[in-house]
Chains A and B, each alone.
Chain A
Amino acid sequence: MIAPLAAVDLARRVAADIPDGSYANLGIGLPTLVADVVGPDKEIVYHSENGILGMGPAPAPGTGDPELINAGKQPVTLLPGGAFFHHTDAFMMMRGGHIDVTVLGAFQVSERGDLANWITDVATMPPAVGGAMDLAVGAQRVLVMTTHVTREGRPKLLPRCSFPLTAAGVVDRVYTDLAVLDVTPEGFVVLEMAPGLTAVELQGLTAARLSFADELGVLPTG
């Protein structure tokens, strides 16, 4: 019986790899959970593409500023020390390599570090990219946080992406609900696995060929 990690445990594992003092941009969806579980021992400055550094949590209900929103268009707050700037500056931070780390969701990741996270079907829905390509190309370290397989059980870690790419060769590390994997010149290397999972089971849920670290860790839960 394979027991995937709960989303909050996965978020804690990602947060553990973000160093104190980082400037970070969290993608929409699952990655936003990371900010909720970073401990008080770390000071991390969150960036938003619409011109915010030092972004804080959602305001209390009934308060807040309708124009102070995050990339997902949800209301947020500004922490002491935070700053506002215009869009070109916000993207200069992203494209110019000033963001230390980004955590992004993914539809697919290839063993070469290609990322597909912006579109699956070009024919029926108008395409929309936002800042996904800028962030994937520009952040110093690109972490992907995702379920290991799709809702239908199809592998997301592949030899080559079949969906249109967001960026080629950019992903450094992938955190799934089953494993932590580094992208290396030799492909995916598994560093940690969910408790009780075997290497054979993990390979069975992964289309790309996996290598395993000599000292394989266990993903912490609870």
Chain B
Amino acid sequence: MIDKRVATLADAVAGIGDEATVLIGGFGDSGVPVELVHALLDQGARDLTVVTNNAGSGERDVAALIRERRVRKIVCSYPRSAGSIWFEELWRAGEIELELVPQGTLSERMRAAGAGLGGFFTPTGADTLLAEGKEVRVLGGRRQVFEEPLPGDVALVKAHRADRWGNLVYRTAARNFGPTMATAAALTVVQVEEFVELGELDPEAVVTPGIYVDRVVAVRAP
């Protein structure tokens, strides 16, 4: 019997260790697994490497992790926003490392990890600061940069509905990085708004098949 549902947020983030690489879904405030990130904050893991598109805003989710000095390094495409005060403060103080990655390369590096690839060449970033120190080859007449896969120890993802096998559907643009991150981590933890019975999700519409998912917890929409 397969049942990936867990009862509490604490169960969902149990066992995440210090120095883990944590992939966290979301784009701006859309699709962020806020409750899972707060559970990770309560759980206590530290010296984390966080992979996420933005560096958090205000006092919530990723910003709170950074504020509490739990993040040693952040890998992201756009750490700056109107409310990214905690990231900026620690970055200026040299207390957090930033690896800046073009957004499509960030996503594709996680896809490569999920697909078992050893990396890929892309023209994105060629002849820019973000290609410094990386191998460049001319392929198909274009200068292309070698990018390595970006696997996670853990992925924290927000979806809309799940069944006990961990099949997932998402809602509108909240889907963003979720399906790719789910494939790229050793442990994929998902929060959903509701559970449904096995067979209730239209198999033609399942976005993330349960094979990629390890734990699912239900968090009611606020």
Contacts and interface: CB of A to CB of B under 8 A. Distances in A.
Asked if A and B are interacting partners, one says yes
A95 B129 contact: no
A89 to B, nearest CB: 9
A126 B123 CA distance: 24
Interface stretch (B7-15, B43-51, B99-107): B99-107
Nearest to B32: A67
A66 B128 contact: no
A128 B176 contact: no
A170 B63 CA distance: 35
B111 A166 contact: no
Contacts of A125: 80, 88
Contacts of B27: 50, 69, 73, 87
Looking at chain B, what size class is its interface with the partner chain? 35 or more
Given A65-B172, A84-B175, A167-B127, A128 B30 contact: no
Contact of B30 (A50, A78, A86): A50
Contacts of A165: 127-128
Contacts of B104: 49, 91, 94-95, 131, 133-134, 138
Contact of B80 (A126, A133, A164): A126
Nearest to A71: B27
A86 B128 contact: no
B129 A86 contact: no
Given A73-B81, A128-B77, A130-B78, A164 B128 contact: yes
A15 to B, nearest CB: 25
B100 A129 contact: yes
A88 B125 contact: no
B108 interface: yes
Contacts of A52: 173
Contacts of A48: 173
B173 A133 contact: no
Contacts of A65: 172
A85 interface: yes
A191 interface: no
Interface in B108-145: 108, 110-111, 122-130, 143
Given A126-B79, A133-B130, A87 B180 contact: yes
Interface of A: 48-52, 65-69, 73, 78, 84-88, 91, 94-95, 122, 125-134, 137-138, 164-168
29 contacts: A50-B28, A50-B173, A51-B173, A51-B176, A67-B29, A67-B174, A78-B172, A84-B173, A86-B170, A86-B176, A87-B176, A87-B180, A88-B110, A95-B122, A126-B79, A126-B98, A127-B100, A129-B77, A129-B102, A131-B77, A132-B102, A133-B105, A133-B125, A133-B130, A134-B104, A137-B123, A138-B124, A166-B128, A167-B126
Interface of B: 27-31, 55, 77-81, 87-88, 91, 98, 100-105, 107-108, 110-111, 122-130, 143, 170-180, 207
Given A52-B173, A125-B80, 14 more contacts: A66-B29, A68-B30, A69-B173, A87-B179, A126-B88, A128-B78, A129-B101, A129-B103, A130-B78, A133-B102, A133-B105, A133-B128, A137-B124, A137-B126
